[in-house]
Structure 1
């Protein structure tokens, strides 16, 4: 167990990132359980605590009396400096146990930019970076999350991966581990990994060998043992009403990125945007029933005391009973001043009416995602949204009292030209002018947020190369030059 000295906490910017002890955190005696998991998101506490997937796995594992699951996130640079100076190993939040003492360290791989954090966290924990170098007493390092669909670049650092949705698979892995442990750990680490080949959705890199052609191009992945499947199919939760969700979310002592209840309406997406990996990897769309969602919402408010709830999904406005659900939730919580929000709105007047209804408690800005500045490019990416849709939606919003609109775009999409980039500025200007036309005065604030397009595996755009940094920077500058109205704020990612 790691002792967290007062002088360490006093020398870092946000000590609450490391102290643990939050409301609904689960603390178990490791000596009284048969399997321990350190669930890690390789990013800072505020981001890790906002991840619904890890929160679900935390609940799933801790419901079992024979399993303990604890949380660990990447320390910020000030804390890392203190830890390295004092030779303090990476520890869990619940019991301050060294991460190297757990049976499993499970990393949720949400995006490629955090791969280096995984290695840094392993180093801080004193766990060898490469799977082949880990001894018998070391934890098994597991990967999950959206990046696992294209995991070969980092396969050597992980003992195995869970491909697809993990709620059922993680329990099957734990049961296989406990059975192997009871039998005296036959065959050592390799013996356990061999057992996992019988669990659907598990990829063990050490049982495969990549093959390349004469020019060095990757050709195939060849199984080295008979039990290793040539094709690994993702795990899918078939019935969302039957699936365990978060009932007792851990409530932080500090502000986090999504500091509210997240109510997951459904998984998957019925749209076919050509850039979107999540829309493809989380197929098919599976909804929860309205009755179940109301019951979940009641339990979550009672368990946390939050007064804000986000109705989350990849495209929440596509939930089939959304209008009725919102009416019922607002009636259920009318006397408790609970506000509801949708993370993304469809660009139509139904969404505006819904947002107006939902934001009676507190009115925030509206967010739309046209993704591209011209209709030609929106058609290329199969966005299914027209400029007329956006103007109608914004017009309805302005008439109902909104003054702030945020628009999300991507830069560097396949076939994009300078005309498409300039189209982003022109579209934002049209929204500002529409407000002036409707209200007869200025006063609108439009924020355009522009991300750099990253081609994602398994999408129709996976073989399009990413733009060079210099070209991203040139296009960002071009867009900046064409934004002349002070009502428009331009946010963009560091190329």
Structure 2
């Protein structure tokens, strides 16, 4: 009988105690004295969010297949439990064993989005692990970060012992083997980090030194240890069929954000949108084989009892065997009451036909992501979607029974003008008008067009990584402009408008392209009370403003200026396969409003083709 870190009195006085008790269906229990490595896998957000993350499910399954390793899960305690742990001096614990995280060999944190950075410090703090890597002693866990935000690890460099750059199925087993051997031979923390730095894809920030020019830009970034490489190369799984994938994922006790089976059908994207970080990071596109997906779907639904399956990818419509997969899922599961979810579809005749087969379409909404209001700006961002595509898709959807359409746009994109912003309202009006062109007797009541705008954030390893941002006030002015433009439309009553928080966007931009000087700011903001920054009700902009002020760091340096393409960027030491030469070419093509064909139409020579073992031209 395992012990519980929290007693009954505490559990009865906190919200959703099921977040912390473990023992869910398919969770893995082992005898800790029979394993050599204990790995605490953490998603630094609340349980419901973390349990929806596929990456952790994959690594949890993969690590626990090793007889010598026990991987357990950790999530950010909600503020109510956070307070109790601090007051009672209870160290943060893993769900499976309820043992203190500080007693594990590894603490791995998934860095999925920038607004979780203060939660990273919460995890370390509550675990009673020093926040700074250099202050940790031999008996403390190795703290490792991975995920999309690890592709610019510099804002968090002081807090992590190492970062994993790439897909987890590649060199993690090698890393664990090196740790085990180092431990067996009596090696210490330093010896392990030196050996780890020699593994492809592993970045040990303590082995690098950064120097700056007087204007604040980076003068040099170089290793201080012979064991550390000049470039850290992203690790990629080329055969995504013959690799690890959880056939019996853990089933949460309470409803998670994604309360369903997730079937990853492919990795990567052929589209090349210039704002999209994932589209560049996860190149090249790799498909899972159809027969494998069929069996995986069967296994996961049986092993979890879920009643919904979601097909996961960056662009599901581009999976070459999607019709066959959909037909199988319908034939196999439709009569069993299993719903099939299809995110990331391009809205065309095929996609609409697919959705009409798998969903109760008359009760659901249809999502378009034009991203920009005019064709000119869609060409700048290389969206590959014309107004005719959008209107034809909407028209077909309305004729098929949909009455609600969601439209997603970005404000603040490079080269944006008032005409582009007004175009958002005008496109929404054209879609509404298209609905009312349908004969009255065929309509399903009134239509509703929901327009949502986020504010553009330039991300590392995209062609827009050199672009400037706007201030909070400028972003809000843009939102107000769109709001007034919508009010001027004939069908304004059919159009609803909402927009993202501008202050959160500006902070995200700072963290996304920050360097090591941002680390102390993150720590200061955390000490000022920042936590769960991605949650509107908990975001404290004043805590961040005070942190920047106290430390004399100018946030505008990271957001407002356009970078020169010759500038050393904080993440330039990472090689993701896509070359800087290609990104510069795409940045210039954006300024010229030139489209680059998608990867299936024509190879654009981005560099990622080398992972296929072939020659990738850089013409």
Q: Which residue pairs with 1:240 in the alignment?
A: 240
Say whether the 8 Å CA contact 1:2–1:88 is kept in structure 2: no
Higher relative contact order (CA 8 A, sep 6+): 2
Measure the CA separation in 2 of the matches of 1:22 and 1:83: 23
Q: What is the RMSD of the two structures over their aligned residues, measured on CA atoms?
A: 1.6
**1:486 counterpart = 2:493:** yes
Asked if 1:474 is matched to 2:474, the reply is no
Provide the residue aligned with 2:101 in structure 1: 99
Distance 1:449 1:28 in 2: 47
Kept in 2, the 8 Å contact 1:317–1:342? The answer is no
Match runs of 1:53-132 below 5 Å: 53-132=55-134
Shift of the 9–446 alpha-carbon distance from structure 1 to 2, 3 Å rule, reads farther
Is residue 317 of structure 1 aligned with residue 317 of structure 2?
A: yes
**2:372 counterpart of 1:372:** yes
Residue 454 of structure 1: aligned partner: 457
CA contact (8 A) 1:339 1:358 kept: yes
Relative to structure 1, the CA distance from residue 31 to residue 284 in structure 2 (aligned partners, 3 Å threshold; closer, same or farther) is: same
CA distances 1:368-418 after superposition (whole Å, capped 9, x unpaired): 211111111111000010111011111111111112221211111111122
- The 1-side partners of 2:176 and 2:362 are apart by 44
Q: CA deviation at 1:23?
A: 1.0
Per-residue deviation, 1:487: 2.7
* Contact 1:339–1:362 (Cα < 8 Å) also in 2: no
3-state SS of 1:354 partner:
helix
Query: In 2, Cα distance between the equivalents of 1:167 and 1:401?
Result: 43
- Output the CA distance in 2 between the equivalents of 1:397 and 1:336: 27
- Within 2, Cα distance between the matches of 1:446 and 1:12? 40
- Superposed displacement of residue 65, structure 1: 1.4
Aligned to 2:389: 389
> Cα distance, 1:301 vs. partner?
0.7
Distance 1:362 1:100 in 2: 51
SS at match of 1:167: coil
Aligned 8 A contact 1:344 1:367 in 2 = no
Alignment deviations for residues 141-168 of structure 1 (CA, whole Å, 9 cap, x no partner): 1010011111112111100000011122
Q: CA deviation at 1:458?
A: 0.9
1:19 maps to which of 18, 21, 39: 21
Deviation of 1:29 (Å): 2.1
- Determine the C-alpha separation between the residues in 1 that align with 2:309 and 2:89: 41
Residue 245 of structure 1, CA deviation: 0.9
Partner Cα separation in structure 2 for residue 205 and residue 76 of structure 1: 30
What is the rounded CA distance, in whole Å, between the counterparts of 2:219 and 2:95 in structure 1?
A: 43
Distance 1:399 1:135, change over 3 A: same
Structure 1 portions without partners, runs of 5+: none
C-alpha displacement at 1:267, in angstroms? 0.4
Q: Distance in 1 between matches of 2:114 and 2:452?
A: 20
Asked if structure 1 preserves the Cα contact closer than 8 Å seen for 2:14 and 2:81, the reply is: yes
Residue 355 of structure 1 pairs with residue 362 of structure 2: no
Alignment of 1:203-222 (within 5 A): 203-222=203-222
Q: Is the 8 A contact 2:275 2:458 kept in 1?
A: yes
Contact 1:366 1:406 in 2 (8 A): yes
Distance 1:2 1:22, change over 3 A: closer
Counterpart position of 2:287: 287
TM-superposed CA distance for 1:332, in Å, is 1.7
1:277 is aligned to 2:277: yes
Q: Is the 2:260–2:306 contact (alpha carbons within 8 Å) kept by the matching residues of 1?
A: yes
154, 164, 181: which one pairs with 1:179? 181
Alpha carbons of 1:363 and 1:310: their partners in 2 closer, same or farther (altered >3 Å)?
farther
Q: Please state how far the C-alpha of 1:361 moved relative to its aligned partner.
A: 9.0
Q: Distance in 2 between matches of 1:362 and 1:199?
A: 53
The 5-angstrom pairing of residues 289-438 of structure 1 reads 289-359=289-359, 364-438=364-438
What CA distance in whole angstroms lies between the structure 2 residues aligned with 1:480 and 1:360?
32
Find the aligned partners of 2:423 and 2:257 in 1 and give their Cα distance: 31
Q: Supply the distance in 1 between the matched residues of 2:495 and 2:117 (Cα, whole angstroms).
A: 35
Q: Which runs of 5+ in 2 are unaligned?
A: 503-619
Contact 1:2/1:91 (8 A) holds in 2? no
Q: Secondary structure at the match of 1:211?
A: strand
Measure the CA separation in 2 of the matches of 1:181 and 1:217. Answer: 40
2:166 — aligned with what? Answer: 164
**Compared with structure 1, are the counterparts of its residues 151 and 439 closer, same or farther at alpha carbon in structure 2 (3 Å cutoff)?**
farther
Aligned to 1:121, the other structure's residue is in SS state helix
**Superposition deviation, residue 213 in structure 1:** 3.3
- Distance in 1 (CA, whole Å) between partners of 2:400 and 2:282 is 35
Residues 212 and 220 in structure 2, CA contact (< 8 A), matched pair in contact too: yes
Shift of 1:428: 1.7
- Which runs of 4 or more aligned residues in structure 1 lie more than 3 Å from their structure 2 counterparts after TM superposition? 213-216, 360-363
Q: 1:210 to 1:241 in 2, by over 3 A?
A: same
The one-character-per-residue Cα deviations of 1:236-264 (angstroms, maximum 9, x if unpaired) are: 00101111112111111211111111100
Deviation (angstroms), 1:366: 1.8
Report the alpha carbon displacement of residue 431 of structure 1 after superposing the two structures with TM. 1.7
Aligned length: 493
Alpha-carbon distance, 1:334 to partner? 3.1
Question: Within 1, Cα distance between the matches of 2:345 and 2:208?
Answer: 43
For 2:450 and 2:33, how far apart are their aligned partners in 1? 53
Please state how far the C-alpha of 1:219 moved relative to its aligned partner: 2.8
